[in-house]
Structure 1
Amino acid sequence: MKPTANRNTLLDNLFKRQRAAAPQKTPFVSVVCPTWNRREFLPYLLYIYQYQDYPADKRELILLDDSPESNQDLVDMMIDPALHNVRYIHSPERLPLGKKRNMLNELATGEYIISFDDDDYYPPEKISYQVAEMQGP
């Protein structure tokens, strides 16, 4: 075995251990969700968001709703106003889905943006898992 190859292996192992021991930072994450005429799904979505295991002070939920009627009352009823991490935006104009997603991405303030759909179930570790995957090894 060449001394250079052995040295590289030792350095590689050292760097791997340092990366493994280095604490991962907890970035701020924006969860974005377009919705339309899904009032009956919003309580489930808000419940799923509130019970994510990712730190509440490191995430925000931004809902963009272009339903004919605003659902602000429902959001206000479901969310603790002291948290300040849920933004509900109602657009009286019907918008294409792509435009809504682009608008949501522009409104997002997080280092990472994660999309939720209003009619899907997500396990409590959804945000944590996605952030860990995006941060890589």
Structure 2
Amino acid sequence: MPDSPIAKPDAPVVSVITPTWQREAMLPFAYRSFAHQDVGPCEWIVIDDSAAPSPFMTSLRDPRVVYRHVSRRMSIGEKRNLAADLARADIIAHFDDDEFYAPDYLRAMLDPMKAASADMIKLSAFFLYSRVYGKFAWWDTLRKSGLHFRWGPQPMTALNFPAEHAAFADNHLGYGFSYVYTKRLWAAGPFEPSSFNEDGAFALAALARKANLMLLADDVGLCVHVLHAYNTSLSFPQYILPDALVARHFPRFTEAMRELPAIARARP
């Protein structure tokens, strides 16, 4: 890893990183999220430990794309670290291969991050779409108590959490699909070589080093966290959104979910 992770003068403004595994059908969808971003020069770094290289990725002729196929299985944390090490920008953003990012997503994250001189920014409230239930929802992870819906591979249930719900104490720091941070922050404490909660552990370690972490509530439709039958973590939104409301106020959500390919594998 570099001793001095300072971006070069000709470096992109942000390096988008994506770990993937056996998700060939999802990669064109993920590429569209990257290619449609309305920020300045950026790059997309994809680390793939699938059985064979991706035909889609190897056929791309986009100079902004860095594709690395590795021959051994790696944890998500290891793949994030490899991608971050390759990043040329001073800012790193996570794009998971099964999420939807609106064209103004990166700009909406980078502008407040830079204004506050933050080391890291992430969404504390966000939209979700369950492919199991065929429903959209919204979750404010800073609200730890009260009515929540349990969303996962199993049938939906309603839960009422007490005011001091210890299991939710740090969950606003996880869900790394919306992480944006400086390369310097990563170099000071890379991801653990794990495929579960490597993101939450990264954020907690950064806070322990007194990093300036900024939280942003998405109430305008910057991103959709997509849930499917292969998710390894549960979500607990407080609000289930009527289809008519989503179609009227967030038409790009419904269009994107119609274009979303089938997912046949678990986490990358």
Q: What is the TM-score of this pair, normalised by structure 1?
A: 0.72
Q: What residue is the counterpart of 2:110 in the other structure?
A: 131
1:105 offset after TM fit, Å?
A: 0.8
Aligned-partner SS, 1:40: coil
Q: What residue is the counterpart of 1:47 in the other structure?
A: 32
Q: What residue is the counterpart of 1:65 in the other structure?
A: 48
Q: What residue is the counterpart of 1:74 in the other structure?
A: 56
Residue of structure 2 aligned with 1:30, choices 15, 21, 25: 15
User: What amino acid sits opposite 2:68 in the alignment?
Assistant: I
Q: Could you tell me the percent identity over the aligned residues?
A: 33
Equivalences for 1:89-128 in 2 at 5 Å? 89-128=68-107
1:54 offset after TM fit, Å?
A: 1.2
What RMSD in Å do the two structures reach over aligned CA positions?
1.4
Moved over 3 A (4+): none
- Normalized per residue, the structure richer in helix is 1
Structure 1 unaligned blocks of 5 or more? 1-26
Q: Deviations for 1:20-53, whole angstroms, at most 9, x for unmatched residues?
A: xxxxxxx611000000110010010011111111
Structure 2 unaligned blocks of 5 or more? 1-11, 117-268
User: What amino acid sits opposite 1:59 in the alignment?
Assistant: C
- Normalized per residue, the structure richer in strand is 2
Equivalents in 1 of 2:87, 2:112: separation in Å? 20
Equivalents in 1 of 2:21, 2:68: separation in Å? 12
Equivalents in 2 of 1:76, 1:125: separation in Å? 27
Greater relative CO (CA pairs within 8 A, separation 6+): 1
> Which of the pair has more CA radius of gyration?
1
User: What amino acid sits opposite 1:107 in the alignment?
Assistant: L
Q: What is the TM-score of this pair, normalised by structure 2?
A: 0.38
